[in-house]
Amino acid sequence: MARLEETKISGRGDGKVMYIPPMEPWGARLFAASFRSIGYDARALQEDASTLALGLKHTGGGECVPCPSTTGALLAAIQRDAVSPDKVIFFMPTACGPCRFGQYAKLDRIIFQRLGWEDVNIMSPSAENAYSGIDNSTRILLYHALVVSDIMRKFTHRVRPYEKEKGAVDALVEAHTKNLESAFSRADKAAIASEVSSTAKELADLAKSQTPRPLVGVVGEIYVRCDPFLNNDVCRRIEELGGEAWLAPINEWILYTTHLQDLLAREQLAGPRAIWAKIRNWLETNLFFERIERKYYELADPVLHDRHEHPIPEVLEEGMRYLPWQFEGEALLTLGRSALFVKKDGAKAIVNASPMFCMPGTITTSIFPAMEKELAIPIACNFYDGSGNPNQNLVPIMHYLTEPSRQSES
């Protein structure tokens, strides 16, 4: 039986089918394409009400909703595709710490054992095990996939509210996404760059000379805020109600965990080890992560010139007005990014999207009322569990923001 974190990328595929959780529409597809470039039959999982119901049937009921949703999507895919469990690799990253995310893969293992699927392979890379099991060149390609998916999502959110022909932006972005899947599956970085650039050029006209709509910053738990199925398509709902959404990107987490290593090294190490840790983090951040991010943002500039992210130290500085950095994790980013959305990016409202019972989501929800008063903007804290319509509370907020009298103020 394969144990957690033992599944390694062979570089040959070995006839394995790899399933990628559908956390974010572009990311899952581009990650799958990246794994196809090294021979795996990699597929992005699909979610809907029936896969969530299947996941809920096999979990305990108290887990945060990304857990049953990813589990159900996988179980449904294995059954639908009739793949032998020993041929399956489930890509389920993990993390240490008190948050439940670190338990997802362990619970999945128990569920597979109960189903008699002992041989399902789970691949659980994390920052703590240096993304164990993934070779260097694949890791680099996956990072490109992550940044490009953030950019494709930003393109959509930046331009779709202003489209003249309904559905035109989604159709154009989808056509380019298909080309990107093909480029990632060949690990062809020149073709990837050219596709990002041509998407930006084709969308550029739509991004300019429009009367801006009220901007709404969307923050919160990384899975639910990015997953339109679980958050009832909160960004599209903001658009339907007359606004424009700016969703905090996934890359924020990668840059944050790298910066955190630097902060921890400063506190825990001394002498040459501290100096070496500082140099390594600087090189990683400046010569790798930020260099790749900068390159794609330059290509995306015709559309995203006013949608750049702020450096992580600035986000943390704002977040640390409410929590110490030693608190670690998503709550700091959620608070800090919200403050910057309002102070620097001109957001007129914030949506804090979290799964029901989410630990960082509960903490930020207890702090946001104070921030709401301080920043004098509405902040909606929405919890999602796959039922009901949590986005209903956006109706009065967006009505207030889109009143003609307020539009003339902005």
Interface positions with ligand SF4 (CB under 6 A): 64, 66, 99-101, 221, 223, 330, 355, 358-361
> Dihedral through CA 49, CA 25, CA 204, CA 303, nearest 10?
120
Query: What is the CB neighbour count within 10 angstroms for residue 47?
Result: 22
CB of 131 to ligand SF4, least distance (A): 19
Q: How far is the CB of 61 from ligand SF4 (least distance, A)?
A: 14
Shortest Å distance, C-beta 359 to ligand SF4: 4
Is the CB of 32 or the CB of 92 nearer to ligand SF4?
92
* Length in residues, the chain: 410
Name the residue among 43, 92, 86 with its Cα closest to residue 69. Answer: 92
Closest contact distance (angstroms) between CB of 227 and ligand SF4 is 11
Q: What is the DSSP letter of 86?
A: G
CA 259-262-263 angle, to 5 degrees, is 90
Minimum CB distance to ligand SF4, residue 363 (Å): 10
Which is closer to ligand SF4, CB of 99 or CB of 193?
99
Q: Is the dihedral of CA 304, 306, 311, 315 positive or negative?
A: negative
Shortest CB 398 distance to ligand SF4, Å: 26
CA distance 278 to 287: 14
Taking a C-beta distance cutoff of 8 angstroms, is the pair 401, 349 a contact? yes
Q: What is the nearest approach in angstroms of ligand SF4 to the Cβ of residue 356? A: 9
Q: What are phi and psi of 382, to 5 degrees?
A: -110, 125
Judge whether 333 and 314 are in contact, CB under 8 Å: no
Task: Name which of 66 and 249 has its Cβ closer to ligand SF4.
Answer: 66
Q: For residues 347 and 217, is the Cβ–Cβ distance under 8 A?
A: yes
Backbone angles phi, psi at 124, to 5 degrees: -125, 70
Query: How far, in Å, CA of 44 to CA of 177, rounded?
Result: 14
Helix (H, G, I), strand (E, B) or coil at 188: coil
Alpha-carbon gap, residue 240 to 304, rounded angstroms: 21
Closest CA to 195 of 21, 25, 30: 30
Q: Give 246 or 383: the residue with its C-beta nearer to ligand SF4.
A: 383
Closest separation in Å from C-beta 347 to ligand SF4 = 23
Which among 92, 86, 87, 85 has a CA at the least distance from the CA of 71?
92
214 or 319, CB closer to ligand SF4?
Answer: 319
Nearer to ligand SF4 among residue 319 and residue 360 (C-beta): 360
Measured from the CB atom, the residue of 35 and 322 that comes closer to ligand SF4 is 322
**Cβ nearer to ligand SF4, comparing 355 with 378:** 355
Rounded to the nearest whole angstrom, what is the least distance from the CB of residue 94 to ligand SF4 in the complex? 10
- Which residue, 227 or 309, has its beta carbon nearer to ligand SF4? 227
Give the number of C-alpha atoms closer than 13 A to the C-alpha of residue 54, restricted to the C-beta side.
18
